[in-house]
């Protein structure tokens, strides 16, 4: 068993069958499980996002708090960016399954949310680990039979440089608000020649903005930097960050890109982009 597979095995299974988890891995108990008004703190944790994950439905969105950078996206001026909570909490759909079929283990799902992809990989016998800053997301991923840790992708992670596939789904290219820094970080996590399967934003968008998570009643979390990249912008930034684009496709109006980390020095073979 590889090091990455051992890490997954240690974090797999229903949380009630595991040893007592570290503090902060599970959501705190609160009266009636209702979100509270936003206050300074870490986004995606105890804001309305956590409540939406627990209930399995929205509406939930990102509210723009700053003007975006110039973009060709006709929706770039929208004040509210919808978050598809119901789809994230459901089993993998046809578009997700097409991504899962491209995975080679072990797989690290960055920003795993409630764990549909991690659970789908586990059901196929592929070792997979989800990483998310949300206690609710980590708890739900484990409840679905997946393995997950509560951590930022920019913090030290298990088995760096040994993952065969990285997943970056559901708008998670926005993590940190700096896609170049994120893609640089991800290169350090995957094996040479390993792959990154990333979901791009619809339309030809390339923007940096400040947002906050907000529900239909105005309850919200703290502001944080975010980004949105369409396929063209993603391919350009990925190439400058040392990734090799190998394919792109659209499923159910969702665009995806497959990237490979350049092989080690001495191996000059590079896959052809399609």
SS3 99: helix
The yes-or-no verdict on residue 21 having pLDDT over 90 is no
Is 270 a member of any domain?
A: no
| Within a domain: 8 | no
pTM of the model: 0.81
Instruction: Give the bridge partners for 207, in sequence order.
Output: 228
Pull the structure tokens for residue 152: 């930022």
Q: Roughly how many angstroms between the first and final C-alpha of the chain, as a whole number?
A: 34
Asked if residue 26 is part of any domain, the answer here is: no
- Residue identified by tokens 């990285």 is 166
**Phi, psi dihedral angles at 120 (to 5 degrees):** -65, -40
> What distance in Å separates the CA atoms of residue 168 and residue 127, rounded to the nearest whole number?
17
At 195 the pLDDT is 98
Domain that holds residue 256: 41-261
Weakest-pLDDT range from 7-21, 101-115, 250-264: 7-21
The model's confidence at residue 41, banded by pLDDT at 50, 70 and 90, is: low
Answer yes or no: are the C-beta atoms of 101 and 235 closer than 8 Å: no
**Is 132 contained in some domain?**
yes
Residue 266 domain-assigned?
no
For position 90, which CATH number holds? 3.40.50.150
Per the structure, the count of domains in the chain is: 1
Question: Would residue 25 count as lying in a domain?
Answer: no
Q: Does some domain include residue 150?
A: yes
Residue 274 lies in a domain: no
* pLDDT class of 8 with cuts at 50, 70, 90: low
With CA atoms as reference, report the closest residue to 196 among 259, 126, 148, 274.
259
């Amino acid at each position: 068993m590889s090091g990455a597979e051992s890490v997954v095995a240690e974090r797999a299974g229903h949380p009630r069958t595991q040893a007592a988890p570290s503090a902060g891995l599970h959501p705190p108990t609160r009266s009636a499980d209702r979100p509270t008004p936003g206050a300074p703190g870490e986004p995606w944790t105890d804001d309305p996002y956590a409540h939406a994950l627990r209930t399995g439905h929205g509406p939930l969105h990102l509210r723009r708090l700053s003007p975006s950078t110039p973009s060709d996206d006709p929706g770039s001026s929208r004040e509210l960016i919808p978050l598809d909570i119901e789809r994230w909490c459901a089993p993998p759909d046809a578009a997700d399954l097409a991504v899962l079929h491209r995975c080679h283990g072990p797989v690290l799902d960055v920003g795993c949310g409630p764990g549909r992809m991690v659970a789908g990989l586990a059901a196929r016998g592929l070792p997979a680990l989800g990483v998310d800053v949300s206690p609710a997301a980590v708890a739900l991923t484990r409840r679905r039979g997946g393995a997950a840790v509560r951590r930022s992708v920019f913090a030290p992670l298990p088995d760096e440089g040994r993952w065969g596939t990285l997943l970056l789904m559901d708008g998670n290219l926005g993590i940190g608000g700096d896609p170049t820094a994120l893609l640089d970080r991800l290169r350090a996590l995957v094996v040479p020649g390993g792959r990154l399967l990333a979901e791009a934003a619809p339309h030809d968008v390339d923007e940096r903005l400040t947002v906050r998570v907000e529900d239909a009643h105005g309850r919200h979390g703290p502001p944080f930097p975010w980004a949105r990249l369409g396929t063209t912008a993603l391919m350009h930034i990925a190439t400058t960050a040392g990734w090799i684009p190998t394919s792109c496709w659209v499923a159910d109006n969702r665009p995806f890109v497959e990237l490979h980390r350049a092989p080690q020095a001495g191996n000059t073979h590079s896959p052809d982009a399609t």
